[in-house]
Structure 1
Amino acid sequence: MALYYVTALSYIAAVLVVIPSPSQWRTKNIPTLSIIAWLFITNVFQGTNTIIWANNVRVVASVYCDIGEQNEITTKFTKALGGLIEDVSRPLQGNMLWMASTWGLPASTVCLTRYLASVTSPNYAPIGINERRKRFWFEMIMCVFMPFIFSGLHYILQSHRFYIEEDFGCKSADHVTWAAIWLLLAPTFALSIVSAIFGGISVYRLARCRMKCRKLFANSASGLATSQYYRLMAISLQLVITDLIMKLYVEISEVKAYGIYPWVSWAYVHEHYDEIPTFSKGDESRVGWINKVVGSIIPVTYAFAFFFLFGFGEEAFSDYRRIWAWIKTHIFRVSSSAAVVAERGNMTHPNLAGSEDSSA
């Protein structure tokens, strides 16, 4: 049975998570905008997978599964790693954006919780232009540039170009070794740990000054309202807690099921790189299939939670009113004529009132 409900939920989630983006764009909140972008990418990618490979394991849409080519920069980067890499003639392929999101989401959460912890400090002070510039580039590197560097490093431990699972589509093929654990899992797990620490600091500070919370934000130079802070904290904690639990569960399950392979050599890991394994539903245990369905729902829940937290705020409703006014004016041609009638009414009423006064 195809996962069309995952398809529908993924595309709905991709649309919903983008809706609050105008208000986040105006505040120039790079971590929040990055979370929107990565959730949009993962949900669109996931929804498309469930359509193309519904009830089949055909090797199709290879370029879509790759979403990336080697260029001069990545070639120089891989050569710079020295003797570890013996062949850089293949493209850096295999679910590039999907792998980038595995760094992008926790990195965005680190930047967000770091900011939230700083604004709750009693010693928080306005930052100058240089500090704002440093913060901007730190967040850009962590949320935008580093995810693609991380995706390129994945090629070192990529045993196949990708593999295909029935109903779930193309996935990245990892050669699970201790090198893979330290290079791919440990950094993203560390990001989640750092986010949890910053989140804990924020919660602790808020718990200590519950009664003074509003005064703290009112006097803070951050310009952050109390309701906005709580919404940002809620989405951060959800991302951190769920990410930590899922990472531990998935990795422990994979190690139990397949074990940890030894690192032999670069040539050994990439010997069958051009082969594309396929796995039908019958090859998967029922527990494994359920785990994959649950894993597919996680990005959907992130996106829905983000929309419910930020799509019903005062800033979002202001955007909705502006969009509706634009639609009425430029599509239905209603608002402009109504405005003219209202303007004429405002101009004639004072004259009428004045004539009544003079007659009296």
Structure 2
Amino acid sequence: MSDITYPLFPIVTALGFVIVLIPLPWHLEAWNSGTCYYMIWVALACLNQFVNSVVWTNDALNRAPIWCDISTRITLGAAVGIPASSLCIMRRLYNISKVQAVATTRAEKRRAVLVDTLICVLFPIIEMVLAYIVQGHRFDIFEQVGCYPHIVNMLPAYFLVVMWPVVIGMISAIYCGLTLWSFLQRQAQFSQFMSSNSSLTMSRYFRLMALAGVELLCTTPLSVFLMVLNLTAQPLDPWVSWQDTHYNFSRVRLVPAVFWTMNRWLVVGIQVNRWSGPFCAFIFFAFFGFAAEARKNYRNTISKVFAFCRLKRDPLSPQKTSPGSVLCPIPAPTR
């Protein structure tokens, strides 16, 4: 059965992986850890979906079991890591809206990065570990989709895995409301505070606010929709025991496209999960890929590339490049 999204989906995910990482260097310089983790999680989600869509575009063979073990963990982690990163962004904006001092010393910056790391990295890792409790077997492989985690539709799965994007989204919504209220109460102080801050401009602040708001409006309703879909589309399996849930755990279910596409709600759930990564990537690039600092960094990068390739000759240099010489130096082979 032919995939109508191929080769569009691999192209979109490849572009999403590239464009979401373009602003990463200057956000690292500004110590915007929440934004950096957002880019990294979205890039991992896009790369994961790109590999799966290319490798399993025509079949559902178990040709890369180790990759599928990694891929399913990325899928579970990104489902929590992306909204968690958005929460860190909103939390930072809330602290700024209260006209509190943004971390200026190196120790304060490290403390802020540590807190964001606990939320954006440690928490998704814990969620990946907890998912093993309700994981029925090693993984599934869907033709045209690739590796997919198999979480048994039972009540403990909603507390251990499914509900966390919704919970994180609700916390982000609270921070969003508090941020707007605090900003409206202190507009004059806020403008003065931002004018003295070199790491975060007014334009970048509102773009971060818009990014977190769009992610909140999209991710949370989709998470609620998928939760309701899982609850209503099929009956819940009872939790009997650890041995019953993990019986013959090493098996891999191979599902041809002609079978899984017959289930309309399964198609909806899989496609929503697949396209969420590239959607987040393009939304992020729309807010930060065309900003003034982005264009400035593009020019600086291009200038460095030109200088590296010696396309611009120093007019004061007595040396001349012969027509047959190589402009770009060839790196020496590494051992």
Q: What is the TM-score when the length of structure 2 is the normalising length?
A: 0.86
Q: Secondary structure at the match of 2:137?
A: strand
Asked if the contact 1:126–1:222 (Cα under 8 Å) also holds between the matched residues in 2, the reply is no
In structure 1, the residue matched to 2:123 is 146
Residue 136 of structure 1 and its aligned partner are, at CA, apart by: 2.2
Task: Specify the alignment match of 1:58 in structure 2.
Answer: 61
CA deviation map 1:169-206 (0-9, x unaligned):
11000012221111112333211111111112122333
Partners in 2 of 1:148 and 1:194 — Cα distance? 19
Residues 78-93 of structure 1 aligned to structure 2 (within 5 Å): none
- Label 1:27 to 1:339 Cα distance change in 2 as closer, same or farther (>3 A): farther
Mapped to 2, the partners of 1:194 and 1:20 lie a distance apart of 26
Q: Any residues of structure 2 matched to 1:102-113 within 5 Å, and which?
A: 102-113=79-90
Decide which of 223, 233, 253 is 1:257's aligned counterpart.
233
Alpha-carbon contact 1:120-1:216 (below 8 Å) kept: no
- 1:329 counterpart (288, 307, 319): 307
Question: Which has a greater percent of helix?
Answer: 1
Aligned to 2:252, the other structure's residue is in SS state: coil
TM-score normalised by structure 1 residue count: 0.80
What amino acid does structure 2 have at the position aligned with 1:143? C
The question of whether the paired residues in 1 share the 8 Å contact of 2:30 and 2:199 is answered with no
* Corresponding residue SS for 1:324: helix
In the other structure, the counterpart of 1:248 is 224
Q: Which residue of 1 aligns with 2:156?
A: 179
What residue number does 1:83 align with? none
Matching residue of 2:251? 275
Match of 2:203 in 1: 227
The separation in 1 between residues aligned to 2:250 and 2:56, in whole angstroms, is 20
> In structure 2, what residue type is equivalent to 1:42?
A
1:9 — aligned with what?
Answer: 12
Alignment partner, residue 204 of structure 1: 181
The DSSP-based 3-state class of the residue aligned with 1:159 is coil
**CA 1:293/1:183 → structure 2, altered by over 3 Å: closer, same or farther?**
closer
What is the identity, as a one-letter code, of the residue corresponding to 1:194? I
Deviation at 1:26, TM superposition (A): 0.8
1:311 pairs with one of 289, 305, 314: 289
Shift in Å, 1:126: 5.3
Give, in angstroms, the shift of residue 287 of structure 1: 5.1
* Two-structure CA RMSD over aligned residues (Å): 2.2
In structure 2, runs of 5+ residues without a counterpart are 319-335
Q: 2 CA distance for matches of 1:339 and 1:159?
A: 71
The match for 2:23 among 12, 17, 20 is 20
Aligned-pair identity in percent equals 25
Q: Which residue of 1 aligns with 2:323?
A: none
Partners of 1:53 and 1:118 in 2: how far apart? 45
Q: Which amino acid aligns with 1:273?
A: F
Alpha-carbon shift at residue 155 of structure 1 (Å): 0.9
Equivalent residue letter for 2:285: F
State the partner residue of 1:29: 32
How far the C-alpha of 1:110 sits from its partner, in A, is 1.4
Question: Greater Rg, structure 1 or structure 2?
Answer: 1
8 Å CA contact 1:165–1:171 kept in 2: the answer is yes
Residues 1:322 and 1:222: Cα distance change in structure 2 (over 3 Å): closer
